[in-house]
Amino acid sequence: MAIALLAPDRDLCGLVKALNAIDPELDLRQWPDLGDLSQIQFAVCWHPPKGILAQLPALKAATSLGAGADALLSDPTLPKKLNIGRLSGPQLSADMSRWLVARVFAHWYQLDRFADQQRDRAWQPWAPSRAPHVGILGMGVLGRHVARAFQALDITVSGWNRSGTGPVDVHMYRGQEELLGLAGQVDYLICLLPLTAETRHILNHQLFAAMRPDAVLINVGRGQHLVEADLIEALNQQQLALAILDVFDREPLPADHPFWTHPSVVVSPHCAALSQDQEVAELILESYQRVKAGQTPLGLVNRQSGY
Ligand code: NDP
Ligand code: OXD
Protein backbone atom coordinates (compact mmCIF):
# COMPACT_ATOMS: atom_id res chain seq x y z
CA MET A 1 0.00 0.00 0.00
CA ALA A 2 1.51 3.32 -1.07
CA ILE A 3 0.86 6.87 0.08
CA ALA A 4 0.76 9.62 -2.54
CA LEU A 5 1.96 13.08 -1.55
CA LEU A 6 0.14 15.48 -3.88
CA ALA A 7 1.30 18.99 -3.06
CA PRO A 8 2.92 20.49 -6.18
CA ASP A 9 3.42 23.96 -4.69
CA ARG A 10 5.06 22.85 -1.46
CA ASP A 11 8.55 21.83 -0.49
CA LEU A 12 7.95 18.46 1.16
CA CYS A 13 11.58 17.60 2.03
CA GLY A 14 11.11 18.14 5.77
CA LEU A 15 7.83 16.22 5.83
CA VAL A 16 9.25 13.26 3.90
CA LYS A 17 12.21 13.19 6.27
CA ALA A 18 9.90 13.23 9.30
CA LEU A 19 7.70 10.46 7.83
CA ASN A 20 10.72 8.27 7.03
CA ALA A 21 12.14 8.83 10.50
CA ILE A 22 8.93 7.49 12.04
CA ASP A 23 8.55 4.59 9.60
CA PRO A 24 11.40 3.90 7.13
CA GLU A 25 9.29 1.17 5.45
CA LEU A 26 6.67 3.60 4.14
CA ASP A 27 6.10 3.54 0.39
CA LEU A 28 5.85 7.29 -0.31
CA ARG A 29 5.17 8.51 -3.84
CA GLN A 30 5.62 12.21 -4.38
CA TRP A 31 3.91 14.02 -7.25
CA PRO A 32 4.70 13.81 -10.16
CA ASP A 33 6.58 10.49 -9.64
CA LEU A 34 3.64 8.35 -8.60
CA GLY A 35 4.73 5.05 -10.18
CA ASP A 36 2.06 2.36 -10.50
CA LEU A 37 -1.17 4.23 -9.67
CA SER A 38 -2.99 1.02 -8.71
CA GLN A 39 -0.78 0.68 -5.60
CA ILE A 40 -1.83 4.00 -4.06
CA GLN A 41 -4.42 3.65 -1.33
CA PHE A 42 -4.02 6.88 0.62
CA ALA A 43 -3.33 10.42 -0.58
CA VAL A 44 -2.09 13.49 1.30
CA CYS A 45 -3.05 16.63 -0.59
CA TRP A 46 -2.43 20.36 -0.66
CA HIS A 47 -3.84 21.98 -3.81
CA PRO A 48 -3.54 18.66 -5.65
CA PRO A 49 -3.62 18.69 -9.47
CA LYS A 50 -7.30 18.56 -10.49
CA GLY A 51 -8.45 15.13 -11.63
CA ILE A 52 -5.57 13.17 -10.10
CA LEU A 53 -7.54 11.51 -7.28
CA ALA A 54 -10.09 10.15 -9.76
CA GLN A 55 -7.21 8.37 -11.53
CA LEU A 56 -6.21 6.29 -8.49
CA PRO A 57 -8.24 3.05 -8.75
CA ALA A 58 -7.32 1.65 -5.30
CA LEU A 59 -7.62 4.91 -3.35
CA LYS A 60 -9.38 4.35 -0.01
CA ALA A 61 -9.26 7.88 1.42
CA ALA A 62 -7.50 11.22 1.04
CA THR A 63 -6.55 13.87 3.55
CA SER A 64 -5.78 17.53 3.34
CA LEU A 65 -2.28 18.32 4.54
CA GLY A 66 -3.79 21.13 6.59
CA ALA A 67 -6.90 22.08 8.56
CA GLY A 68 -8.84 23.39 5.56
CA ALA A 69 -9.97 20.87 2.95
CA ASP A 70 -11.48 23.41 0.51
CA ALA A 71 -8.84 23.00 -2.23
CA LEU A 72 -9.30 19.24 -2.22
CA LEU A 73 -13.09 19.46 -2.26
CA SER A 74 -13.10 21.97 -5.13
CA ASP A 75 -12.06 19.26 -7.63
CA PRO A 76 -15.24 18.48 -9.62
CA THR A 77 -13.89 15.00 -10.50
CA LEU A 78 -13.38 14.04 -6.84
CA PRO A 79 -14.96 10.56 -6.42
CA LYS A 80 -18.35 11.16 -4.73
CA LYS A 81 -17.99 8.55 -2.00
CA LEU A 82 -14.30 9.08 -1.21
CA ASN A 83 -13.69 9.79 2.47
CA ILE A 84 -11.80 13.06 2.94
CA GLY A 85 -9.98 13.96 6.15
CA ARG A 86 -8.01 16.93 7.39
CA LEU A 87 -5.02 17.31 9.70
CA SER A 88 -5.09 19.59 12.67
CA GLY A 89 -3.08 18.99 15.82
CA PRO A 90 -2.56 20.81 19.11
CA GLN A 91 0.48 22.69 17.83
CA LEU A 92 -1.48 24.16 14.92
CA SER A 93 -4.24 25.36 17.29
CA ALA A 94 -1.72 26.81 19.74
CA ASP A 95 0.16 28.61 16.96
CA MET A 96 -3.07 30.12 15.63
CA SER A 97 -4.04 31.33 19.10
CA ARG A 98 -0.62 32.84 19.80
CA TRP A 99 -0.56 34.62 16.45
CA LEU A 100 -4.02 36.12 16.95
CA VAL A 101 -3.33 37.15 20.55
CA ALA A 102 -0.11 38.81 19.36
CA ARG A 103 -1.88 40.65 16.54
CA VAL A 104 -4.79 41.86 18.68
CA PHE A 105 -2.71 43.09 21.60
CA ALA A 106 0.03 44.68 19.49
CA HIS A 107 -2.74 46.77 17.95
CA TRP A 108 -4.82 47.37 21.10
CA TYR A 109 -1.79 48.45 23.12
CA GLN A 110 -0.47 50.49 20.17
CA LEU A 111 2.99 49.03 20.70
CA ASP A 112 4.33 50.84 17.63
CA ARG A 113 3.94 54.18 19.42
CA PHE A 114 6.67 53.31 21.90
CA ALA A 115 9.18 52.61 19.14
CA ASP A 116 8.43 56.11 17.80
CA GLN A 117 8.74 57.58 21.29
CA GLN A 118 12.04 55.83 21.94
CA ARG A 119 13.44 57.25 18.71
CA ASP A 120 12.39 60.73 19.91
CA ARG A 121 13.54 60.08 23.54
CA ALA A 122 9.97 60.96 24.56
CA TRP A 123 8.56 59.82 27.92
CA GLN A 124 4.77 59.60 27.44
CA PRO A 125 3.11 56.81 29.44
CA TRP A 126 -0.08 55.49 27.81
CA ALA A 127 -2.34 52.45 28.14
CA PRO A 128 -5.83 51.67 26.81
CA SER A 129 -8.60 52.39 29.32
CA ARG A 130 -10.50 49.14 28.74
CA ALA A 131 -10.00 45.63 27.36
CA PRO A 132 -11.15 44.79 23.83
CA HIS A 133 -14.14 42.64 22.87
CA VAL A 134 -13.18 39.91 20.40
CA GLY A 135 -15.61 38.23 17.99
CA ILE A 136 -14.77 34.95 16.28
CA LEU A 137 -16.53 33.68 13.13
CA GLY A 138 -16.21 29.89 13.22
CA MET A 139 -16.15 28.10 16.54
CA GLY A 140 -14.53 24.85 15.42
CA VAL A 141 -11.24 23.27 16.45
CA LEU A 142 -9.28 26.48 15.94
CA GLY A 143 -11.98 28.98 16.93
CA ARG A 144 -12.55 27.28 20.28
CA HIS A 145 -8.83 27.23 21.06
CA VAL A 146 -8.52 30.90 20.15
CA ALA A 147 -11.56 31.75 22.31
CA ARG A 148 -9.98 30.01 25.31
CA ALA A 149 -6.67 31.83 24.75
CA PHE A 150 -8.38 35.24 24.85
CA GLN A 151 -10.58 34.24 27.79
CA ALA A 152 -7.46 33.25 29.74
CA LEU A 153 -6.47 36.92 29.44
CA ASP A 154 -9.87 38.10 30.73
CA ILE A 155 -11.04 39.19 27.30
CA THR A 156 -14.76 39.04 26.47
CA VAL A 157 -15.25 36.70 23.51
CA SER A 158 -18.33 36.32 21.31
CA GLY A 159 -18.67 33.70 18.61
CA TRP A 160 -20.67 32.84 15.51
CA ASN A 161 -21.25 29.46 13.92
CA ARG A 162 -24.01 27.35 12.37
CA SER A 163 -25.24 25.56 15.46
CA GLY A 164 -25.20 28.54 17.83
CA THR A 165 -23.45 26.44 20.48
CA GLY A 166 -19.96 27.22 21.73
CA PRO A 167 -17.63 27.11 24.72
CA VAL A 168 -18.65 28.20 28.21
CA ASP A 169 -18.82 31.98 28.66
CA VAL A 170 -18.71 32.68 24.94
CA HIS A 171 -21.85 34.52 23.84
CA MET A 172 -22.85 32.71 20.66
CA TYR A 173 -24.60 34.08 17.58
CA ARG A 174 -25.94 32.26 14.51
CA GLY A 175 -27.51 33.08 11.16
CA GLN A 176 -27.05 36.11 8.89
CA GLU A 177 -28.98 38.61 11.06
CA GLU A 178 -27.08 37.67 14.16
CA LEU A 179 -23.81 37.88 12.22
CA LEU A 180 -24.43 41.57 11.61
CA GLY A 181 -25.41 42.01 15.28
CA LEU A 182 -22.12 40.48 16.38
CA ALA A 183 -20.12 42.52 13.85
CA GLY A 184 -21.54 45.73 15.32
CA GLN A 185 -20.40 44.96 18.85
CA VAL A 186 -16.81 43.83 18.68
CA ASP A 187 -13.47 45.61 18.49
CA TYR A 188 -11.83 42.73 16.58
CA LEU A 189 -13.73 40.48 14.18
CA ILE A 190 -11.72 37.34 13.41
CA CYS A 191 -12.68 35.06 10.51
CA LEU A 192 -11.79 31.44 11.26
CA LEU A 193 -14.41 29.85 9.04
CA PRO A 194 -13.82 27.04 6.56
CA LEU A 195 -14.39 27.98 2.93
CA THR A 196 -17.70 26.50 1.76
CA ALA A 197 -20.45 27.52 -0.65
CA GLU A 198 -22.18 29.27 2.27
CA THR A 199 -19.17 31.13 3.63
CA ARG A 200 -17.64 32.31 0.33
CA HIS A 201 -17.74 36.15 0.23
CA ILE A 202 -19.18 36.38 3.72
CA LEU A 203 -16.83 39.29 4.48
CA ASN A 204 -18.63 41.80 2.29
CA HIS A 205 -20.03 45.35 2.20
CA GLN A 206 -23.06 44.42 4.33
CA LEU A 207 -20.82 43.13 7.10
CA PHE A 208 -18.45 46.10 6.91
CA ALA A 209 -21.41 48.53 7.09
CA ALA A 210 -22.42 46.86 10.36
CA MET A 211 -18.95 47.17 11.95
CA ARG A 212 -17.85 49.93 14.26
CA PRO A 213 -15.65 52.59 12.61
CA ASP A 214 -12.81 51.81 15.05
CA ALA A 215 -13.08 48.04 14.61
CA VAL A 216 -10.49 45.73 13.04
CA LEU A 217 -11.15 42.80 10.69
CA ILE A 218 -8.73 39.88 10.89
CA ASN A 219 -9.00 37.23 8.18
CA VAL A 220 -7.12 34.00 8.82
CA GLY A 221 -9.74 31.76 7.16
CA ARG A 222 -9.44 31.85 3.38
CA GLY A 223 -9.01 34.70 0.88
CA GLN A 224 -12.25 33.73 -0.83
CA HIS A 225 -14.21 34.64 2.30
CA LEU A 226 -13.49 38.26 1.47
CA VAL A 227 -14.87 40.51 -1.26
CA GLU A 228 -11.67 42.49 -1.75
CA ALA A 229 -13.22 45.48 -3.55
CA ASP A 230 -15.85 45.82 -0.79
CA LEU A 231 -13.13 45.91 1.84
CA ILE A 232 -11.11 48.60 0.08
CA GLU A 233 -14.25 50.69 -0.37
CA ALA A 234 -15.26 50.21 3.29
CA LEU A 235 -11.76 51.13 4.55
CA ASN A 236 -11.72 54.22 2.34
CA GLN A 237 -15.15 55.19 3.70
CA GLN A 238 -13.85 54.55 7.26
CA GLN A 239 -16.58 52.01 7.99
CA LEU A 240 -13.88 50.04 9.81
CA ALA A 241 -10.39 51.07 10.89
CA LEU A 242 -8.04 48.31 9.78
CA ALA A 243 -7.86 44.92 8.08
CA ILE A 244 -5.23 42.37 9.09
CA LEU A 245 -5.13 39.81 6.29
CA ASP A 246 -3.20 36.53 6.30
CA VAL A 247 -5.04 34.81 3.43
CA PHE A 248 -5.86 36.02 -0.08
CA ASP A 249 -7.90 35.15 -3.12
CA ARG A 250 -4.64 34.79 -5.08
CA GLU A 251 -1.59 33.51 -3.24
CA PRO A 252 1.14 34.66 -3.35
CA LEU A 253 -0.51 38.08 -3.32
CA PRO A 254 0.40 39.65 -6.70
CA ALA A 255 3.08 42.36 -6.47
CA ASP A 256 0.75 45.01 -7.90
CA HIS A 257 -2.15 44.25 -5.54
CA PRO A 258 -3.46 47.37 -3.71
CA PHE A 259 -3.41 45.56 -0.33
CA TRP A 260 0.41 45.78 -0.25
CA THR A 261 0.35 49.57 0.02
CA HIS A 262 -3.05 50.41 1.49
CA PRO A 263 -2.45 52.37 4.73
CA SER A 264 -5.23 50.47 6.54
CA VAL A 265 -4.25 46.94 5.50
CA VAL A 266 -1.69 44.71 7.20
CA VAL A 267 -0.53 41.79 5.06
CA SER A 268 1.11 38.51 6.09
CA PRO A 269 1.86 35.56 3.76
CA HIS A 270 -0.59 32.84 4.95
CA CYS A 271 1.42 31.83 7.98
CA ALA A 272 -0.79 32.56 11.01
CA ALA A 273 -0.45 28.85 11.77
CA LEU A 274 1.89 26.79 9.61
CA SER A 275 1.55 23.01 9.67
CA GLN A 276 4.79 21.78 11.23
CA ASP A 277 6.46 18.73 9.69
CA GLN A 278 6.76 16.60 12.84
CA GLU A 279 3.16 17.13 13.94
CA VAL A 280 1.80 16.58 10.43
CA ALA A 281 3.91 13.43 9.91
CA GLU A 282 2.49 11.91 13.08
CA LEU A 283 -1.06 12.85 12.07
CA ILE A 284 -0.60 11.44 8.54
CA LEU A 285 0.54 8.12 9.94
CA GLU A 286 -2.32 8.00 12.44
CA SER A 287 -4.81 8.73 9.69
CA TYR A 288 -3.18 6.19 7.37
CA GLN A 289 -3.31 3.47 10.05
CA ARG A 290 -7.00 4.19 10.58
CA VAL A 291 -7.71 3.90 6.87
CA LYS A 292 -5.67 0.69 6.60
CA ALA A 293 -7.79 -0.70 9.46
CA GLY A 294 -11.00 0.13 7.57
CA GLN A 295 -11.84 3.27 9.56
CA THR A 296 -12.41 6.84 8.39
CA PRO A 297 -9.42 9.22 8.09
CA LEU A 298 -8.69 11.68 10.90
CA GLY A 299 -10.86 14.82 10.82
CA LEU A 300 -13.48 13.31 8.52
CA VAL A 301 -15.04 16.07 6.41
CA ASN A 302 -18.80 16.13 5.87
CA ARG A 303 -18.93 16.19 2.07
CA GLN A 304 -22.38 17.79 2.16
CA SER A 305 -21.59 20.77 4.41
CA GLY A 306 -18.04 21.08 3.01
CA TYR A 307 -16.17 21.10 6.32
P1 NDP B 1 -13.66 23.44 11.85
O2 NDP B 1 -14.26 22.66 10.72
O3 NDP B 1 -13.23 22.71 13.06
O4 NDP B 1 -14.72 24.55 12.32
C5 NDP B 1 -15.50 25.24 11.43
C6 NDP B 1 -16.40 26.22 12.18
O7 NDP B 1 -17.04 27.07 11.23
C8 NDP B 1 -17.51 25.52 12.97
O9 NDP B 1 -17.73 26.21 14.17
C10 NDP B 1 -18.72 25.68 12.07
O11 NDP B 1 -19.99 25.75 12.73
C12 NDP B 1 -18.45 27.04 11.45
N13 NDP B 1 -19.17 27.17 10.19
C14 NDP B 1 -19.05 26.44 9.05
N15 NDP B 1 -19.91 26.88 8.11
C16 NDP B 1 -20.60 27.89 8.67
C17 NDP B 1 -21.64 28.75 8.23
N18 NDP B 1 -22.15 28.63 7.00
N19 NDP B 1 -22.13 29.68 9.07
C20 NDP B 1 -21.62 29.78 10.33
N21 NDP B 1 -20.63 29.00 10.82
C22 NDP B 1 -20.13 28.07 10.00
O23 NDP B 1 -12.47 24.30 11.22
P24 NDP B 1 -11.07 24.69 11.89
O25 NDP B 1 -11.35 25.48 13.12
O26 NDP B 1 -10.20 23.51 12.03
O27 NDP B 1 -10.41 25.61 10.74
C28 NDP B 1 -11.05 26.73 10.23
C29 NDP B 1 -10.31 27.26 9.01
O30 NDP B 1 -9.12 27.95 9.38
C31 NDP B 1 -9.80 26.24 8.01
O32 NDP B 1 -10.84 25.70 7.21
C33 NDP B 1 -8.81 27.06 7.21
O34 NDP B 1 -9.49 27.71 6.15
C35 NDP B 1 -8.32 28.11 8.21
N36 NDP B 1 -6.90 27.93 8.57
C37 NDP B 1 -6.02 28.96 8.31
C38 NDP B 1 -4.70 28.87 8.66
C39 NDP B 1 -3.77 30.01 8.44
O40 NDP B 1 -2.56 29.88 8.67
N41 NDP B 1 -4.25 31.17 8.02
C42 NDP B 1 -4.15 27.66 9.31
C43 NDP B 1 -5.15 26.65 9.55
C44 NDP B 1 -6.47 26.78 9.18
P45 NDP B 1 -20.56 24.58 13.69
O46 NDP B 1 -19.67 24.60 14.91
O47 NDP B 1 -21.94 25.01 14.01
O48 NDP B 1 -20.45 23.31 12.89
C1 OXD C 1 -4.58 25.10 6.71
C2 OXD C 1 -3.81 26.29 6.34
O3 OXD C 1 -5.73 24.96 6.29
O4 OXD C 1 -2.60 26.33 6.60
O5 OXD C 1 -4.04 24.26 7.48
O6 OXD C 1 -4.38 27.24 5.81
Which residues approach ligand 1 with their CB closer than 6 A? Answer: 66-68, 88, 138-143, 161-163, 192-196, 198-199, 220-222, 246-247, 270-273, 307
Q: Give per-residue pLDDT as tens, 22-75.
A: 999 999 999 999 999 999 999 999 999 999 999 999 999 999 999 999 999 999
Dihedral pair phi/psi, residue 235, rounded to 5°: -65, -40
Mean pLDDT for the chain overall: 98
Q: Is 50 within 8 Å of 266 (Cβ atoms)?
A: no
Question: Residue 298's pLDDT band (boundaries 50, 70, 90)?
Answer: very high
Question: Torsion angle of alpha carbons 242, 244, 248, 251, nearest 10°?
Answer: 130
Q: For residue 242, what pLDDT is reported?
A: 99
Would you tell me how many other CB atoms lie within 10 Å of the CB of residue 152?
10
Q: Give per-residue pLDDT as tens, 172-192.
A: 999 988 999 999 999 999 999
Q: Is 181 within 8 Å of 173 (Cβ atoms)?
A: yes
222 is catalytic: yes
Q: How far apart are CA 15 and CA 232, in angstroms?
A: 38
Share of the chain above pLDDT 70, in %: 100
10 is catalytic: no
Dihedral pair phi/psi, residue 286, rounded to 5°: -65, -45
Q: Give per-residue pLDDT as tens, 217-248.
A: 999 999 999 999 999 999 999 999 999 999 99
From 222, 250, 290, 303, the catalytic residue: 222
> CA nearest 61: which of 35, 34, 85, 32?
85
8-29 burial by CB neighbour count: b if 16+ within 10 A, else e? eeeebeebbebbeeeeeebebb
Give the side-chain half-sphere CA count within 13 A for 243: 34
Q: How far apart are CA 86 and CA 99, in angstroms?
A: 21
Q: Is 211 within 8 Å of 237 (Cβ atoms)?
A: no
> What would the mean pLDDT of 129-158 be, rounded to a whole number?
98
DSSP for residue 135: E
68 in ligand 2 pocket by Cβ < 6 Å? yes
- Name every residue whose Cβ is closer than 8 Å to that of residue 186 and which is 6 or more positions away in sequence: 132, 133, 134, 135, 158, 212, 215
Residue identifier of the C-alpha nearest atom 5 of ligand 2: 66
Q: For residue 177, what pLDDT is reported?
A: 86
For the entire predicted model, the pTM comes to 0.98
Q: For residue 73, what pLDDT is reported?
A: 97
57: amino acid identity, one letter? P
Q: For residue 1, what pLDDT is reported?
A: 86
Question: Residue 197's pLDDT band (boundaries 50, 70, 90)?
Answer: very high
299 in ligand 2 pocket by Cβ < 6 Å? no
Q: Give per-residue pLDDT as tens, 200-211.
A: 999 999 999 999
**Number of the ligand 1 atom closest to the C-alpha atom of 272:** 40
